[in-house]
Structures are given as C-alpha cells and as structure tokens.
C-alpha cells in the first residue's frame, strides 16, 4: 500500500502559536488528576481569594470572561502552582503515597484515609494549610477524620 | 336379615383436627425478631446514606477548589487559539470580521490545523 509511516497526528497537528508577547507567561500546573485531587483542599485553603476573584471576574464578564479574566487566571494558576511546589518540597513522600493510592483506588478518597492523614499532618506542620470541608453538620466529625470509613475496602483503624 | 346398626357404644370420635406439632417460636416473637432485624438494617442504611452524603460533599468541595484552576488553564488555551485565529485571518484576508452579531467569546467550532506538522 502506501509507504507512509503510520503515525498518530493528534499530537503534532495542533495549533502551537503562542500567546501574544504582551500577555505574561505563566507555567501551567502540569499535574494530573490524582495529585490535584490530593492537593485540592490545600489549594483551596491557600488560593481561595484568588479563586473567588477569578470566578467573580468570570461572572461579571459573562460571555467575555475568557479574554478579560486572563490576569486573574494567571494568579489562580501561580497560586496553585506554589501550593503544589511547596507540598512537593516538604511532603513529597506522603504526597506521592496518597495520590498513588488514589490512582490505584479509582480516586475514591475514602479508600486512602491513612495516607491522607499522614499527608494532612505533614502539610499542616510545614505549610499551615488545613483540610476543612465546609458546611459539615454541627456536632459531627468531618468525614475525612472518621477513623472508621464504612465504605472502605480495607478497614483498618487509624 | 338384620339391620346395619352402629356398633355397641357408638362410633369412635372422628379426628377432624390436624395433629401437627407447632414448631418454632411463638408468632409474636418471630414478628418481634423480624422487626428487630429490619430496624437494625434500616439504621445501618441510614448511616450509610449520611456517610455517602458527606463523601459527596467532600468530593464536591475538592472540585470547587480545583475548578478555577482548570478553567483558567483552558481559557488561556482558548484565548491563545482565538488570537492565533484572528492573526491568521488578518494575514489572509487583511481584516478580521466577526461572523457573530454579538461580542461574546465564541468557542471555535472548527480547529485550524497547521499545514506543517510541528514537532
């Protein structure tokens, strides 16, 4: 048949024109879903003002937020990047253990509580970022702190 | 020929009652037991549902914390393509005209692929 080498072209046939030079560069977050899920509450704890700013900008510029909120978006990404970098610097082992566990368990948070507690402790000790789930019913332990996770496959105490 | 008559002293009584032993617990006790099992089961189900709700909220909040980040990244990519599109249009046609009767940002339907593969 043809002598053409069979290659996938979806990775090469993409528009790679960079943004115009007057828009500042920003390093993308570059993390996949499991690390992001693992670090999400720390990102939320540190970057809430920036996140809220960005979402408010998007709401106020409905329909044009993509172009008008670039500045806020850069701040959001820089802040999240700083969180990931700090977690990597101080708690790399715990972080890695937790997100590999998430990856292995269909990203179900309740399967990885022991690893999560270790990560949370390390992050709180080093970065003073705490995982808090808002709107937990009063008088109840937050679900990520319960020693018995009734849906977990491997139920071993703390 | 003598008449057919009942035996002397009459017939034996006919047993019309069933003579089966009543096995197991009293019905009231069985009912109570079933009620107990059901109550325990529903209690467990209730606990499970509440835990599921909490887990769902946890997941929801983790998404809420991530969505600005993901949106920002995608917006930047869209805007980059949009500007590239406009520059291309300007270069080819000499002007850029919006086909839409509004100034909203429209996510492009067609992606322009470069004529040369970029490696």
Task: For B91-118, write each residue's pLDDT tens digit.
Answer: 989 988 888 898 899 888 777 766 665 5
Q: A70–B75: do the CB atoms touch at under 8 Å?
A: yes
Q: Output the six-digit token pair for B88.
A: 């291309």
B76 to chain A: which residues are within 8 Å by CB? 19, 26, 28, 70, 73-74, 77
Cα–chain-centroid distance for residue B20?
Answer: 50
Spatial CB neighbours of B21, under 8 Å, sequence gap ≥ 6: none
Find out whether A61 and A72 touch, Cβ atoms under 8 Å: no
Look at the pTM and tell me if it is higher than 0.80.
Answer: yes
Does the distance separating the beta carbons of B73 and A77 come in below 8 Å? yes
Q: What does residue B6 show for φ and ψ, rounded to 5 degrees? A: -60, 150
| H-type alpha helices, B13-26 | none
- pLDDT number for residue B117: 58
Distance CA B111, CA B109 (A): 7
Contact predicate A28/B73, CB 8 Å: yes
- Say what the pLDDT of residue B45 is: 97
pLDDT digits (tens, 9 = 90+) for A80-122: 999 999 999 999 999 999 999 999 999 999 999 999 999 999 9
pLDDT band at A4 (very low <50, low <70, confident <90, very high): confident
Residue A55, pLDDT > 80, answer: yes
Q: Which residues of A touch B43 (CB under 8 A)?
A: none
pLDDT at res. A58 = 95
End-to-end Cα distance, chain A: 63
Which chain A residue shows the shortest CA-CA distance from B51?
Answer: A143
Per the CB < 8 Å rule, is A37 touching B62? Answer: yes
The pLDDT of residue B13 is: 87
Closest residue, chain A, to B55 (C-alpha):
A143
In 3-state terms, what secondary structure has residue B10? coil
Question: Alpha carbon of A150 to those of A18, A119, B39, B47: distances in Å?
Answer: 49, 21, 19, 9
Is residue A71 over pLDDT 90?
A: yes
B-chain residue closest to A79, CA distance: B69
Instruction: Name the residue among B62, B63, B118 with its Cβ closest to that of A16.
Output: B118
Long-range contacts of B90-93 (CB under 8 A, 24+ apart): none
Name every chain B residue with its beta carbon within 8 A of the beta carbon of A37: 62, 66
Tens digits of residue pLDDT in A139-155: 889 999 999 899 998 76
Cα–Cα distance, A131 to B106 (Å, whole number): 37
Mean pLDDT computed over A19-41: 93
Name the average pLDDT for chain A.
Answer: 90
Q: Which site among A23, A29, A51, A71 would you substitute to test the B interface, given the most B Cβ atoms closer than 10 Å to its Cβ?
A: A51
Instruction: Say if residue B76 is exposed, middle or buried (CB neighbours under 10 Å; 0-12, 13-18, 19+).
Output: buried
Higher pLDDT, A5 or A81: A81
In tens, the pLDDT along B22-40 reads 888 999 999 999 999 999 9
Interface contact flag, B117 A150, Cβ < 8 Å:
no
- Residues from chain B that touch A9, judged by Cβ atoms under 8 A, are 117
C-alpha to C-alpha distance for A153 and A114, rounded to whole angstroms: 13
pLDDT at A157: 46
What are the sequence ranges of the domains in chain A?
Answer: 33-128
Question: Which of B72, B102, B105 minimises the CB distance to A73?
Answer: B72
A137 vs A4: which has the higher pLDDT: A137
Query: Which pLDDT score, from 0 to 100, does residue A47 have?
Result: 95
Contact A17 B87 (CB under 8 A): yes
Query: What pLDDT score does B43 carry?
Result: 97
Check if the beta carbon of residue A15 is closer than 8 Å to that of residue A65. no
């Amino acid at each position: 048949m043809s002598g053409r080498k069979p290659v996938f072209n979806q990775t090469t046939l993409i528009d790679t024109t960079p943004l115009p030079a007057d828009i500042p560069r920003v390093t993308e977050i570059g993390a996949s879903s499991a690390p992001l899920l693992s670090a999400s509450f720390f990102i939320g704890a540190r970057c809430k003002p920036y996140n809220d700013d960005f979402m408010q900008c998007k709401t106020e510029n409905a329909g044009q937020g993509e172009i008008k909120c670039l500045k806020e978006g850069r701040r959001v990404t820089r802040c999240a990047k700083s969180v990931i970098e700090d977690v990597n610097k101080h708690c790399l082992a715990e972080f890695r253990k937790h997100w590999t566990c998430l990856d292995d368990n269909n990203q179900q948070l309740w399967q990885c509580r022991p690893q999560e507690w270790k990560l949370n402790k390390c992050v709180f000790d080093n970065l003073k970022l705490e995982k808090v789930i808002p709107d937990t019913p009063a008088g109840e332990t937050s679900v990520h702190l319960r020693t018995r996770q009734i849906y977990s496959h491997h139920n071993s105490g703390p | 020929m003598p008449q057919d008559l009942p035996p002397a002293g009459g017939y034996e009584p006919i047993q019309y009652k069933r003579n089966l032993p009543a096995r197991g617990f009293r019905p009231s006790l069985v009912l109570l037991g079933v009620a107990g099992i059901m109550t325990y089961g529903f209690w467990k189900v209730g606990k499970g549902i509440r835990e599921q709700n909490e887990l769902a909220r946890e997941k929801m909040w983790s998404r809420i914390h991530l969505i600005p980040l993901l949106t920002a990244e995608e917006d930047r990519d869209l805007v980059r393509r949009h500007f590239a599109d406009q520059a291309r249009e300007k270069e080819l046609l000499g002007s850029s005209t919006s086909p839409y009767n509004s100034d909203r940002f429209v996510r492009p339907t067609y992606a322009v692929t470069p004529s040369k593969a970029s490696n």
